[in-house]
Each structure stands twice: as C-alpha cells, then as structure tokens.
Amino acid sequence: PGFSRREILLGGAGALTAFAAGGLGARQALAAEHSLTLSRLNHSVLPETVTADMMSFSPSGPPPVLRFRKGQTTTIDVKNALDEASVVHWHGLRIANNMDGVPYLTQYPIEAGNAFRYEFTPPDAGTFWYHPHCNTLEQIARGMTGVIVVEDEEDAGFDSDLPLNIRDFRLGGDGQFIAFYKPRNAARGGTLGTVSTVNWQPQPVYELAAGSLVRLRLAVTDLTRVGRYTVSGAEALVIAIDSNPLPQPVAMDEIVLAPGQRADVALRVPNSEDEVATLVLKKPNGDKVLATFQPKGASAGRDLRELKPLKPNPVPQADLANAEVLDFVFGWSPGGDAPQASICGSLGYTFWSINRVAWGGDVPGPFDPLATMRHGKSYILRFRNESPNDHPIHLHGMSFQLLRSNKRKLPPLVTDTALLLEEETMEVALVADNPGDWAFHCHVIEHQKTGLAGFLRVE
Ligand code: C2O
Ligand code: CU
Ligand code: CU
C-alpha cells in the first residue's frame, strides 16, 4: 500500500527499458507486486531493421529488470499472451519448489491465454535472472531472458546500479531470425548467435556520472556462449559471482562466464568525458566491445575503497565430514527414442545424458529422480564430464559450494551454475535444505533439450 505509480514503475514490471543507472542515495521503495505479460512483438535490434516475432515478458520491449528485496515476499502475475504454453523460472532463487517454474515437475505449463501467480520470498541478495522453462530453446532464442536484482537491506555505497543482460541473437543480415540451432552443433559445443547484444542492443552506450561508483550486474543469459569478459579503460573489481559475494574482491582482468552465470562488478567511472570504459568480450579472432560507459559531468571523485563489503548470503555450509557422495556422469546419450513431443517442446534428438539417462527436459514423465537426498543432510556431488565439451551445470532450488577438480584449483565459490570443463571431474557440496523435485541440467540449452537434463529429489 502507499506506493506511487512512479515507485511501482521504477521497481516493477513497468520498468521496460529504464536501464539508465538510477541513483541509490535514497532507498527506493520496491514494489512487492509485479506483473509480466509474455508477448510476441516486433522490435528493432539491428539499426534500420525490425526483427519480427521476438518474444518478451512485456508487450512493448525487452524484458523488464525485476527488482526484489531480500526477505520481502513478492508476487508476480504472469499472463501468457503468447500463442503457445510457457512457464517462468527464477534462476538462482532458493524458493519453494511449487514456485520454481518447471513444467510437469513443479507446475503445469501456463497455456496460451492463461495466467499464473508466482509468490515467493527471496532469501539471498544479488543478481539473478528469469527465463521460460517450456519450449525453452525457441522462447529464449526469441528474447525471453530478463535480469533479477535482489537488493539487500543495506547498500554497499554505490552511486548507481546497471543491469547488463548479455546475450546473442541468431539474426540474418536482414535482421530476421535464422534457424535457432543446428543439430550437428547441439551434439558438440552448441550453436552460437550472430549478433551480440547488451539489454537487446548491439553496443549500447551508457552515460554514467564521471568519477562515480557503479555496480555493473552482468548476467549471461545466452543459450550457448561460454565467454571471457573484461572491463577496459577503468578500474573495476569483481565483487560477486552468481549472486554470492567473493570473500575478497578481485581485479576484473578477465572472467569466464557461461550461460546462466552472473558477475557483479564494481566500476569506477573515469574522471573525464574523453576517457570511456568498455565491457569487452575476448575472442580469439579479435576482442569485441559489448557496451561503452561514457563519463558525464564533473568527477564525483569516488574511490573503490569506499565500498562496504557485501554481506554473504545465508547459504548453509555442508558438513563435509559426514557428507554422502553422489556421482553424476555427463556424457553421450546411450541412444534410444527421442523424447515424445509435448506442449513444452522437444527438439526430437537425444545426444546427451546424465548417468546414461537422456531426458529432453520439460517433457512429461514417467521418469525418476537421478538421486534422492534426505532433507537437511549434507552431500558431495561429484560431476564427471566424459565429453570433450564444456557444460555449465545448473541446479535449481539450492546453491552449492565448489570443492575441487582434477584439472584446476577451484576457488571456494558458492553458486547455482558451475562450468564443468571438458573431461573434468569436479566435486561440489550442499545441504539438501529445500524439499521438492529440482531440475538439474546443462545450461547450454541445446544440450539440456537433447538429454543433458534430469532432476534431484529432496525429501
Ligand atoms: Cu536457468 Cu533450469 O534454468
Ligand atoms: Cu534455474
Ligand atoms: Cu552442456
């Protein structure tokens, strides 16, 4: 009660393309009620062309940034104005199972014309994202990925906050969609996009107060790309990965982010208008500027050392001495029938499997959990990658801690999406503290939809 329209628009579903960094000096009241309308739309991504048949969570532009407050109950009314079924998943939020948005596992698909009310209380602060989990490849390819910001009670001292939704689209020179993927790529590393965007724009320029401290919220919502990112032309520190604060901020020299992963970066905007900073995707054939940060006005003279450390999220620590080990093998599909067509879509191929079982993801049963965990107990999950491709392994509903790898030294990060390198064996630990059936899959969507998917049960 008592929210002005402006506050609701700033905090909620109306915040369409309001990506210009807003001041955080005065704490904004955040709307507790949001609404999303799943829509088809035509929108200009490339200059002078209009891309037909994009899909968004808004009828009039890119998916809005959703802003929630940690510990505050929020509702999201989802209206499905598409001509097909969908369902919305809140990636990284450790919420109740029946609000997790996975068809057949946690709810029925939201049919065309129908609505569904999600209601949950985010326990953690940080940068998250949302996307459909139904006909996932096509709906994401057409545009349905948005950033979620969960604010902590206390601010770290930034002047502003800038969510960056990083993803490619597969467009031809005429700005229209080309085939979303190629089956031969789905059996390998996946199909890359042709146009890189940030917030649905190729190479946007953001004007930021000179000398100010900006919290860049990078969310890689691409279907496929494992990328190396850097910030050049300014001082920048990585302060959180996958919504969990780093024990110690590290210089943003280069960071690898796979589909589904996020990084919070503290940017110190240069002092003068002719010193621009850029977000860069590093590529073997030449680096690519994804976005430009243009200083504006007289320098605010801020210093990165003025920032307060972020508070760790209340993720329980696993009891490693008493943890049971569960093994998961990620590899080729043993063959057999492609998953049945369903209203949430099957690609009609099975190339991949977890523990030799291929599940097309988002396809109705009969199927069994890959493992059952006892509520409250600690587990070590051992991920073994038998394939020559990388897989960002994502678990819904619970965050886990990286323990060790046979290939590299792992930082003790807490995450929901871990990049498992080719032929790597990695161990991670968690407390099975959230009851329900939780999707568990590779976030290269072509892999997920051709078998590299399953679920874990906590009971
Ligand atoms: Cu972003 Cu099933 O996940
Ligand atoms: Cu998820
Ligand atoms: Cu994969």
- Listed by start position, the domains of the chain span 5-153, 163-306, 320-458
What proportion of the chain, given as a percentage, has pLDDT over 70? 92
Is the pLDDT assigned to residue 235 strictly greater than 80? yes
What is the interface pTM, i.e. ipTM, of the complex? 0.99
Residue 392 in contact with ligand 1 by CB distance below 6 A: no
Question: 3-state secondary structure string, 143-175?
Answer: CCCEEEEEECCCCCCCCEEEEEEEEEECECCCC
Residue 89 in contact with ligand 1 by CB distance below 6 A: yes
Closest CA to 66 of 258, 257, 217: 217
Residue with tokens 């929630």: 68
CA 396 to ligand 2 center in whole angstroms: 5
CB atoms within 10 A of CB 306: 11
| Mean pLDDT across 436-455 | 95
Q: Pick the atom of ligand 1 nearest to 448's CA.
A: 2
Residue 439 in contact with ligand 1 by CB distance below 6 A: yes
What proportion of the chain, given as a percentage, has pLDDT over 90? 84
Question: 3-state secondary structure string, the chain?
Answer: CCCCHHHHHHHCCCCCCCCCCEECCCCCCCCCEEEEEEEEEEECCCCCCCEEEEEECCCCCCCCCEEEECCCCEEEEEEECCCCCECEEEECCCCCHHHCCCECCCECCECCCCEEEEEECCCCCEEEEEEECCCHHHHHHCCCCEEEEEECCCCCCCCEEEEEEEEEECECCCCCECCCCCHHHHCCCCCCCCEEEECCECCCEEEEECCCEEEEEEEECCCCCCEEEEEECCEEEEEEECCEEEEEEEECCCEEECCCCEEEEEEECCCCCCCCEEEEEECCCCCEEEEEEEEECCCCCCCHHHCCCCCCCCCCCCCHHHCEEEEEEEEECCCCCCCCCCCCCCCCCCCEEECCECECCCCCCCCCCCEEECCCCEEEEEEEECCCCCEEEEECCCCEEEEEECCCCCCCCEECEEEECCCCEEEEEEECCCCEEEEEEECCHHHHHCECEEEEEEC
Residue 91 in contact with ligand 1 by CB distance below 6 A: yes
CA 391 to ligand 1 center in whole angstroms: 13
**Structure tokens that stand for 35 in this block:** 């609404």
Phi, psi dihedrals of residue 30, rounded to the nearest 5°: -105, 135
Identify any residues that bridge with 379 across adjacent strands, giving them in sequence order.
324, 430
| Mean pLDDT across 24-42 | 80
| Mean pLDDT across 228-253 | 96
Confidence at 5, pLDDT banded by 50, 70, 90: very low
CB under 8 A, 24+ apart: contacts of 424-428: 424/383, 424/385, 425/382, 425/383, 425/384, 425/385, 426/382, 426/383, 426/385, 426/402, 427/325, 427/380, 427/381, 427/382, 427/383, 427/403, 428/380, 428/381, 428/383, 428/400, 428/401, 428/402, 428/403
Ligand nearest to the CA of 87: 1
Residue 295 in contact with ligand 1 by CB distance below 6 A: no
Ligand nearest to the CA of 422: 3
CA 44 to ligand 3 center in whole angstroms: 31
pLDDT at 311: 95
Residue 447 in contact with ligand 1 by CB distance below 6 A: no
Ligand nearest to the CA of 90: 2
Is CATH 3.50.30.30 what the domain over 320-458 is classified as, yes or no?
no
Q: One fold for both 5-153 and 320-458?
A: yes
CB atoms within 10 A of CB 297: 12
CA 188 to ligand 3 center in whole angstroms: 9
Cis upstream peptide for 366 (omega within 30°): yes
Question: pLDDT digit string (tens) for 387-405?
Answer: 999 999 999 999 999 999 9
Is the pLDDT assigned to residue 7 strictly greater than 70? no
Question: pLDDT digit string (tens) for 61-111?
Answer: 999 999 999 999 999 999 999 999 999 999 999 999 999 999 999 999 999
pLDDT at 347: 86
Cβ-in-10-Å burial (0-12, 13-18, 19+) of 421 comes to middle
CATH number for domain 5-153, candidates 3.40.50.300, 2.60.40.420, 3.10.110.10, 2.40.50.140: 2.60.40.420
Question: pLDDT digit string (tens) for 151-201?
Answer: 998 889 999 999 999 999 999 999 999 999 999 999 999 999 999 999 999
**Structure tokens that stand for 287 in this block:** 């680096």
pLDDT at 337: 62
Strands 74-80 and 391-395, by their bridges, are unpaired
- The overall average pLDDT reported for the chain is 91
Residue 225 in contact with ligand 1 by CB distance below 6 A: no
CA 83 to ligand 3 center in whole angstroms: 29
Superfamily per CATH, domain 163-306? Cupredoxins -  blue copper proteins (2.60.40.420)
- Evaluate whether 310 touches 224 at the Cβ level (below 8 Å): no
Q: Ligand 1: which residue has its CA nearest to atom 1? A: 91
